[in-house]
């Protein structure tokens, strides 16, 4: 009788065990709950558990092997931003990309006389390492309502402010370690793949790569021969010293600190903004091509539509606009 009880216990135990496994199981087929026939072959379950255990082992080993954080050079991302309807949405999805990149320091510069609560709160909750700055663009340099986006250069004062802060901040960090890093100018509406940030980490002076959906073309790119940039593939004013987009290059921190006067020139003619900074830093043959010798597109110059607000405006005229306390 006791033997019968013993075996009953064993069977009950088996069922419990396998049902517990069932929820852990990534099979979308069978059901291993009480009394129901499991569609998955039973040997699949212990195999799966072994696989996940082996994976965990690998994670653990890998995490031990992972280089200690301080040995990865920091990427300083300078992003100018300004208040408009889609600002919070843009910053949200940008931060979701940045959260995946180790050793990233986000320098967010608002085009505003004061730091806005929207951006301050957002940065606090983002989980990123950041510096929050602000500098307003002079009125005559600012785009007015209805101006085409290319009419005046945008973000110049903000990027320069980012550079200025960086130079100041690095003075307090003596030694060689404080000089290691890469500076990247990332606009808040572009799209960045995670691989891009790993490509730029090894920048010695200035590295370059293709940018998608810019310059009126599917992509703009430096042309590489024998590991060196020989010319630039672009459909618009290829005679510029550096016919690239802001998202197409990164500068090593060392170079930025060694040239304390290098900054963007707001008076430069249209399309020459990038060149205004780079010409003081490198020559074309010193450029380091990344992204597989500039054959892959890892960043896209996407732009977000301005949302249609006709009904909102109509309501506001009647005094029935949406609750301004709800932050959008």
Contact 243, 217 (CB under 8 A): no
**Burial degree of 279 (CB within 10 A; 0-12, 13-18, 19+):** middle
Q: Which is nearer to other proteins, 97 or 112 (CB)?
A: 97
Determine which one of 274, 286, 305, 313 is catalytic. Answer: 274
Which residue numbers belong to the known binding site for Mn(2+)? 189
| Burial call 56-71: b when 16+ CB within 10 Å, e when fewer | eeeeeeeeeeeeeeee
Known binding-site positions: 80-82, 111, 154, 159, 187-189, 301-303
Q: Does the active-site annotation cover 274? A: yes
For the bound state, the minimum distance from the C-beta of residue 165 to other proteins, rounded and expressed in Å, comes to 26
197 in Cβ contact with 75 (< 8 Å) = yes
Nearest alpha-carbon partner for 241 in 285, 203, 204, 202: 285
- Do residues 309 and 321 touch, judged by C-beta distance below 8 A? no
* Residue-wise DSSP of 240-255: SSS---GGGEEEEHHH
Q: How far is the CB of 297 from other proteins (least distance, A)?
A: 5
Cβ proximity of 162 and 78 under 8 Å: yes
C-beta of residue 308 within 8 angstroms of C-beta of residue 297: no
Closest approach, Cβ 264 to other proteins, in A, equals 24
CB of 255 to other proteins, least distance (A): 26
Between residues 260 and 321, which has the closer beta carbon with respect to other proteins? 321
Q: Which residues are catalytic?
A: 274
């Amino acid at each position: 009788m006791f033997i019968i009880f013993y075996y009953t216990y064993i069977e009950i135990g088996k069922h419990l065990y396998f049902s517990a496994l069932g929820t852990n199981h990534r099979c979308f087929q069978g059901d291993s709950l009480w009394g129901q026939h499991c569609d998955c072959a039973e040997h699949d379950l212990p195999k799966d558990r072994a696989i996940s255990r082996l994976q965990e082992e690998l994670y653990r080993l890998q995490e031990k092997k992972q280089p200690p954080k301080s040995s990865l050079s920091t990427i300083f991302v300078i992003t100018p931003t300004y208040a408009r309807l889609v600002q919070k949405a843009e910053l949200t999805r940008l931060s979701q990309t940045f959260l995946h990149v180790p050793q990233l320091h986000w320098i967010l510069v608002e085009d505003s006389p004061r730091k806005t609560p929207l951006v301050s709160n957002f940065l606090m909750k983002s989980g990123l390492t950041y510096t929050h700055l602000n500098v307003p663009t002079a009125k005559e340099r600012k785009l007015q309502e209805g101006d085409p986006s290319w009419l005046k250069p945008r973000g110049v004062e903000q990027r320069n402010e980012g550079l200025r802060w960086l130079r100041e901040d690095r003075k307090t960090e003596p030694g060689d370690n404080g000089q290691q890093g890469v500076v990247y100018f990332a606009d808040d509406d572009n799209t960045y793949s995670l691989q891009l940030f790993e490509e730029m980490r090894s920048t010695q002076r200035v590295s370059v790569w293709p940018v998608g959906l810019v310059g009126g073309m599917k992509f703009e790119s430096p042309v590489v021969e024998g590991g060196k940039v020989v010319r630039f593939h672009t459909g618009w004013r290829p005679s510029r010293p550096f016919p690239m987009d802001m998202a197409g290059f990164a500068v090593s921190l060392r170079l930025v600190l060694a040239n304390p006067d290098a900054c963007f020139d707001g008076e430069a003619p249209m399309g020459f903004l990038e060149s205004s900074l780079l010409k003081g830093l490198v020559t074309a043959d010193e450029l380091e091509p990344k992204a597989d010798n500039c054959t892959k597109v890892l960043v896209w110059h996407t732009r977000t539509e301005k949302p249609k607000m006709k009904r909102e405006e109509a309501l506001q005229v009647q005094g029935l606009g949406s609750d301004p306390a709800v932050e959008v």
